[in-house]
Structure 1
Amino acid sequence: MRPTERDGLPRGPKIPAAIQLVMMMRWWPQFVAACRRRYGTVFTIQNTMMGKMVYLADPDAIKTVFAGDPRIFHAGEANSMLGGLLGDTSVLVVDDDVHRERRRLMMAPFHRDAVARQADLMAEIAAENVAGWPVGRAFAVAPKTSEITLEVILRTVIGASDPARLAALRDVMPKLLSVGPWESLAIAKPSLLTRWPWRRLARHMAESDRLLYAEIAERRADPDLAERTDALAMLVQAGGMSDKELRDQLITLLVAGHDTTATGLAWALERLTRHPEVLEKAVAAAESGDAGDEYLDAICKETLRIRPVVPDVGRILKEPTEIAGYRIPAGVMVVPSITSVHSDPAVYPNPDAFDPDRMVGATLSPATWFPFGGGNRRCLGAGFAMVEMRIVLREILRRVELSTTTEPGEKTKLKHVIMTPERGGRITVRARRPLLRLSGKPDVVSIDTATRGPLPRS
């Protein structure tokens, strides 16, 4: 066994925990990267909010965590800082039998066939949004991709169709999800929501709850419930969840499935506009229909490798456990570091290069490519997110011609636990493309701007 320090924990920075908290809130991935360079593939960080955390950048150690007994490796407890927003019954913050049962109930909407049925609607929503993009001037694309993914979630997951409620949800959700370090404090400690600096956040939470509970009530009363394909309808049909539990799962899907996918898409466009040869291949793939899906998928995978949306995932140990040669005490959080592994030259040669070709036909290990986490806690909506990224990217590349740039790549900015492009992923649309009919696919129909439903064909 390797020598250990400080109560059996690996080495790490000795600066005060309060200062480490500030550094993580401001420079989370950069701080972790600096520790990785100094201390190696296993090191300890501690702060006053999350306690002691053993970071893991070794794939073998990460395999141990992802394959570990869920009764010992508690992911829900590690996510407890999100409970103030998601609710205490969210699938992300519960463990053991409760988590297993909740996850079982939520699987149906994310089955491959269920996701495939939503593909046309995803394309329609993307097409309508892209039609409004400016031509000839630079703009931040992250707000646009956020509009697309929010609409996809509202229509496919929540199934919202009432125009007034849809408009209200479109208005309040971006405000609720615009979470910075200041708002994060109140989410981690909900008692702060009653104090004046956080009352606006509390109002946004109350408004979103009002709207989501109205959707739940409408779905429970729907005589055609069995014919609906939205995730909320499927959860109601499955039974076993109260209105409060349904609300917690809906807000979880909104938070985990909207901002993350939007950020991934913004990073993909930011990367493509800085790599002309890759962009040219991507456009050809987008215009070739199903035949181009493999390359578009490779772009999405490589984007999530080189610009992962979240920096890491955590598990709190319920028993002392040996990992990477250290006997780590109960109560410590072990943290597989996504950013560290995805940038490791021993795993990905020339890791700073944006190279989708490395993903074409690759068999990816769950311990070396894990932007959606891993093990029994791998993101439920991973398949949904990958399909959505590919479809939206295809619609963008089919419909507009993007300018390339020699500007340096955008730095990352931390938005709660999401790493977004610092300037919002600024791009320029040079021109609109003449729309080619995809082989074997109908052209995307127009969207009613009031309800976002398809208009009748003329």
Structure 2
Amino acid sequence: MDILDDRSEPEPARSSTPASRIRGPRTPGTVQGMQLFVWPTKYMRQCRDAYGKRFALKIFPQANLYVLSDPDDIKEMFLAPRSSLHTGRGSAALEKFFGQTGLAWLDEKEHLTRRKQLMPSVKGSALRRTEEQIGEMAREAVASWPRDRVVQLRPYVHRFTIEVIREVVFGKFVPSCWDELFDAIWDMLKLNERVTTMIETHNMSPFGVRMLRAIRPLGLDRFFKDRARADALIARAVAERMESGEQGDDMLAVMLGITREDGSPLSGVELRDEIMTMFVAGTETTAGGICWALEHLTRAPAILERLLDEIDEGADDAFLTATVHEVLRLCPPNPQIIPREVMKPIEIGGVRYDPGDQLWASGYLLHTDPDVYPDPDVFRPERFLGVKPGAYTWIPFGGGHTRCLGDRIAILESKAVLREVLLTCELSRPDAKPDPATSRTVTMTPKHGARLTLKSRAQQGRTVGARAR
């Protein structure tokens, strides 16, 4: 049965028009939100088929939400002045994780300043250090994964990505409480398996939050307890680092060196919010991307064989890089990037948007647009061989002023895990049927968590020259 109630013809050619004339499904907003959460790809594609490359949704109770998927619209949105479009409140569903003082919540000058301050922790010497560690961490992680039985690989991949972010945040100065902190973060992130993770608890009254916490199956009470535990452990890790006086190029060291114009340092809350942002946004997405890659490779023997040849030769990783780019095109873990709130009247693609409107660029719809990518549903890494992904046609990391800080690290992680898996294992799947997408808060991941079997390929006699790279 179709999940839309209004199958109008697609929108006609662009003309200067108020956004209020953009069409969309007429179902109640709560129903639209549930459909989007349960069918994150199917629902959006049916909306595009019905209404065209821009359409309206009602999933935000007090705002008009307009989905954009035309590359020209997205380019104009990314190039809009910082004062015209804000992203801070677009992270509202994640506020319960991130807080309201970190980079994800800031706009205009505050965002630009904080972004420049944090950048040294993800580039230069810090990036080189992280890259060196990622290779070894991938070898250790993959070696520990189960063999010869069907397992959901996503939890194992997610644990790896959390360890990588530990390296980014703390560097070689691992907190003495890291094992406890890891467990607290892991337990917090379990809320993302529930639709209740989308509830904006910070906009509720204390009484309303208490009522929800009293309903134990919702998982919110357990979440808030886990969050309090994680917050206390982060504070302990920060205090330990400050007492040690150890310097470094890791994110915590960089943040401890930040001072405002009046000479004051970042507060404990600000440090906590930036650290937690990294452990949530920097792990869920990368884990999803790696799982999608494993999913596709088990159903693409020719591509898998070509990757194996390249990895065994150890000369370069052009095809591996193209494969990661293609996976992120076809299955972007963030299918829709952070919404932009219109702060000043703005015209994009001949449409006038007013203050309070929300603009939502859909990477998934953009990436599966046949006008942009011929045969968009075909897994074809060759699309990106010798071709740099376009800034306005390939947006798995967002774009414009708020492009993901850790994009290069995510690519490194993906390549390292795929390289190690393919070097040491044969992949097989119990069911040839493709795994559908499901939502984890704002991310998209294989519904069954990449259920695969890993078998040792040491006996196959292939070379392992890539290990020395």
Same fold by TM (over 0.5)?
Answer: yes
Shift of residue 437 of structure 1? 5.2
Q: Which amino acid aligns with 1:165?
A: C
* Match status 1:102 vs 2:114: yes
* Match status 1:347 vs 2:359: no
Shift of residue 384 of structure 1? 1.2
Range that drifts further, 321-330 or 427-436: 427-436
| TM-score, structure 1 as length reference | 0.90
The residue correspondences of 1:199-238 to structure 2 (distance < 5 A) are: 199-225=221-247, 228-238=248-258
CA distance in 2, matches of 1:306, 1:316: 27
Q: 1:3 to 1:322 in 2, by over 3 A?
A: closer
Contact 2:425 2:455 (8 Å CA) reproduced: yes
Q: Which amino acid aligns with 2:393?
A: T
Q: Which residue of 2 is the match for residue 450 of structure 1?
A: none
* Match status 1:270 vs 2:322: no
CA distance in 1, matches of 2:172, 2:63: 40
Helix, strand or coil for the counterpart of 1:131? helix
Q: Which amino acid aligns with 2:316?
A: G
Range that drifts further, 59-68 or 111-120: 111-120
Q: 1:181 to 1:406 in 2, by over 3 A?
A: closer
Q: Which amino acid aligns with 2:39?
A: W
Contact 2:102 2:270 (8 Å CA) reproduced: yes
Q: Which residue of 1 is the match for residue 9 of structure 2?
A: none
Q: Which residue of 2 is the match for residue 18 of structure 1?
A: 30
Shift of residue 288 of structure 1? 3.0
Range that drifts further, 131-140 or 86-95: 131-140
Shift of residue 346 of structure 1? 1.0
* Match status 1:58 vs 2:75: no
CA distance in 1, matches of 2:310, 2:385: 13
Q: Which amino acid aligns with 1:2?
A: S
Contact 1:73 1:316 (8 Å CA) reproduced: yes
Contact 2:93 2:200 (8 Å CA) reproduced: no
* Match status 1:158 vs 2:170: yes
| TM-score, structure 2 as length reference | 0.88
> 1:8 is matched with which residue: 20, 23, 27?
20
Q: Which amino acid aligns with 1:235?
A: M
Q: Which residue of 2 is the match for residue 447 of structure 1?
A: none
Q: 1:438 to 1:229 in 2, by over 3 A?
A: farther
Shift of residue 14 of structure 1? 2.0
Tell me the matched-pair count. Answer: 438
Q: Which amino acid aligns with 1:91?
A: L
Q: Which amino acid aligns with 1:196?
A: A
Q: 1:90 to 1:310 in 2, by over 3 A?
A: same
Q: 1:351 to 1:406 in 2, by over 3 A?
A: farther
Shift of residue 307 of structure 1? 0.7
Q: Which residue of 2 is the match for residue 307 of structure 1?
A: 331
Helix, strand or coil for the counterpart of 1:79? helix
Q: Percent identity?
A: 33
Q: Which amino acid aligns with 2:54?
A: V
The residue correspondences of 1:243-258 to structure 2 (distance < 5 A) are: 243-258=268-283
CA distance in 1, matches of 2:157, 2:371: 33
Helix, strand or coil for the counterpart of 1:28? coil
Contact 2:40 2:438 (8 Å CA) reproduced: no
Range that drifts further, 178-187 or 203-212: 178-187
* Match status 1:183 vs 2:203: no
Q: Which amino acid aligns with 2:322?
A: A
Q: 1:214 to 1:438 in 2, by over 3 A?
A: farther
Q: Which amino acid aligns with 1:222?
A: S
Shift of residue 363 of structure 1? 2.5
Q: 1:131 to 1:326 in 2, by over 3 A?
A: same
Deviation per CA, 1:252-288, whole angstroms, max 9, x where unpaired?
Answer: 0111111111111111111101101111111222233
Shift of residue 293 of structure 1? 1.8
Q: 1:355 to 1:411 in 2, by over 3 A?
A: same
> 1:196 is matched with which residue: 211, 214, 227?
214
Deviation per CA, 1:161-204, whole angstroms, max 9, x where unpaired?
Answer: 56761211221212211212113215564645543232111001
Q: 1:207 to 1:440 in 2, by over 3 A?
A: closer
CA distance in 1, matches of 2:64, 2:250: 41
* Match status 1:44 vs 2:56: yes
CA distance in 2, matches of 1:163, 1:64: 44
Helix, strand or coil for the counterpart of 1:319? coil
CA distance in 2, matches of 1:254, 1:312: 20
CA distance in 2, matches of 1:403, 1:54: 41
Shift of residue 210 of structure 1? 0.9
* Match status 1:383 vs 2:413: no
* Match status 1:416 vs 2:434: no
Contact 1:341 1:368 (8 Å CA) reproduced: yes
Q: 1:401 to 1:112 in 2, by over 3 A?
A: farther
Q: 1:3 to 1:73 in 2, by over 3 A?
A: closer
Deviation per CA, 1:286-330, whole angstroms, max 9, x where unpaired?
Answer: 2333x3322111111101011110111210101121112211121
Q: 1:47 to 1:403 in 2, by over 3 A?
A: closer
> 1:284 is matched with which residue: 293, 298, 309?
309
Range that drifts further, 381-390 or 19-28: 19-28
CA distance in 2, matches of 1:162, 1:117: 14
Contact 1:193 1:201 (8 Å CA) reproduced: no
Helix, strand or coil for the counterpart of 1:54? strand
* Match status 1:425 vs 2:447: no
CA distance in 2, matches of 1:299, 1:189: 41
Helix, strand or coil for the counterpart of 1:117? helix
Shift of residue 132 of structure 1? 2.0
Deviation per CA, 1:110-130, whole angstroms, max 9, x where unpaired?
Answer: 114421222221122221121
